[in-house]
């Protein structure tokens, strides 16, 4: 697909056309995907995040924050931010203010890792919590850390589950108090909510296990609690029904994705953010005949797609009405002015995987060049 920007043959580029998402008037369809960067020392957002997020802000652009822990049991990676303490809420405020100063719309992704952790990240060295007591086999931790073993989790009792739901509710309230425009519930990538939903992990025999409806109960209770706390017009959710990240696969991902898309309509949430079926493993595209189109058709709100998109693929998805918005991760990480580059069909900076998950406050974080200074 070729786009010309000359006066005689101007062609609208789908990704940079405006879109109304609920009460938010977006200037374009390119979304900053939630990206773990591991630069929030002691789980507290830092001043260098002000520059990082503001660099990637355009007037009317939608940004989703990196995954942000809902409690002290939610941690599984070093130096990831939280939003359960007053200190964390206060630390987020200047970051949110910087995005708003440039006219951006900013959602906080709220997160619990579940069993993707070990006791070193947990309060008092306790076992991580999950829907199961089945542990992960040793594999390299997401985020490229040197932690290659996971502590077997403790299965939550039925009575404890409402307490975790309440952690998400409180985190959502804290996000609004920090100034965020809304929250995205992290229900993807093998973390706690996904662990409950996937039959490859969930082996419960109570009302939170067994049938598809039971396995999705926890996710929908979180959605309901968050909606009741801050309003449906400020709530999105991210799902990856087809993915097998962190050994969290499902035997019928199509049914899972469709059930969730349909069930979410009851709560009238703002958007559903789904990861493409081709992204079955972390960071790698696979050949896959499956599609998100049935879920996109079933869901009544704004639909956001993510997973392996380039400019042409994203333009096609919007033009063919397969999605409303496209979330970009690695490309946006390396190109702080990505929407402008798409508009001009300009060359892109190459990303450097080796600096994705370091603690350096500059290198691989805020030092990627803008178009006017790119070589």
HEC per residue, the chain: CCCCCCCCCCCCCHHHCCEEECCEEECCCEEECCCCCCCCHHHCCCCHHHHHHHHCCCCCCEEECCCEECCCCCCCCCCCCECCCHHHHHHHHHHHHHHHHCCCEEEEEEECCCCCCCHHHCHHHCCCEECCCCCCCCCCCCCCCCCCCCCCCEECCCCCHHHHHHHHHHHHHHHHHCCCCEEEEEECCCCHHHHHHCCCCCCCCCCCCCCHHHHCHHHHHHHHHHHHHHCHHHEEEEECCCCCHHHCCCCCHHHHHHHHHHHHHHHCCCEEEEECCCCCECCECCCCCCCCHHHHHHCCCEEEEECCCCHHHHHHHHHCCCCCEEEECHHHHHCCCHHHHHHHCCCCCCCCHHHCCCCCCCCCCCCCCCHHHCC
Known catalytic membership, residue 3: no
User: Which residue is catalytic, options 3, 52, 53, 191?
Assistant: 191
* Catalytic residue ranges: 191
């Amino acid at each position: 697909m070729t786009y010309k920007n000359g006066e005689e043959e101007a062609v609208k580029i789908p990704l940079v056309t405006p879109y109304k998402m609920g009460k938010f008037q977006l200037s374009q369809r390119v979304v900053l995907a939630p990206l773990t960067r591991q630069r929030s020392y002691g789980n507290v957002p830092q001043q260098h995040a002000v520059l990082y997020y503001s660099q990637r802000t355009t007037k009317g652009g939608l940004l989703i924050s990196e995954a942000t822990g809902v409690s002290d049991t939610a941690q599984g990676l070093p130096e990831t931010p939280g939003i359960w303490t007053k200190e964390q809420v206060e630390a987020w405020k200047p970051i949110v203010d910087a995005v708003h100063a440039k006219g951006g719309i900013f959602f906080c992704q709220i997160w619990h890792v579940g069993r993707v952790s070990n006791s070193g990240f947990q309060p008092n060295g306790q076992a991580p919590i999950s829907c199961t007591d089945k542990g992960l086999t040793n594999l390299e931790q997401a985020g490229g850390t040197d932690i290659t073993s996971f502590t077997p989790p403790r299965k939550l009792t039925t009575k404890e589950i409402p307490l975790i739901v309440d952690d998400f509710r409180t985190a959502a309230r804290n996000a609004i108090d920090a100034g965020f425009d809304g929250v995205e519930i992290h229900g993807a990538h093998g973390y706690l909510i996904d662990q409950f939903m996937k039959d490859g992990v969930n082996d419960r025999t109570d009302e939170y296990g067994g049938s598809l409806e039971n396995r999705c109960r926890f996710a929908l209770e979180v959605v309901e609690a968050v909606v009741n706390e801050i309003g449906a017009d400020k709530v999105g959710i991210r799902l990856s029904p087809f993915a097998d990240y962190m050994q969290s696969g499902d035997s019928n991902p199509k049914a899972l994705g469709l059930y969730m898309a349909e069930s979410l309509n009851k709560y009238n949430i703002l958007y559903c953010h789904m990861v493409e079926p081709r992204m079955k493993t972390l960071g790698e595209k696979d050949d896959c005949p499956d599609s998100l189109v049935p879920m996109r058709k079933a869901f009544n709100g704004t639909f956001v797609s993510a997973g392996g998109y380039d400019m042409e693929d994203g333009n096609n998805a919007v033009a063919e009405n397969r999605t409303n918005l496209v979330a970009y991760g690695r490309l946006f990480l390396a190109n702080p002015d990505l929407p402008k580059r798409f508009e001009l069909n300009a060359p892109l900076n190459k990303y450097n995987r080796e600096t994705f998950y370091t603690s350096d406050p500059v290198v691989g974080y805020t030092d990627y060049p803008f178009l006017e200074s790119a070589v």
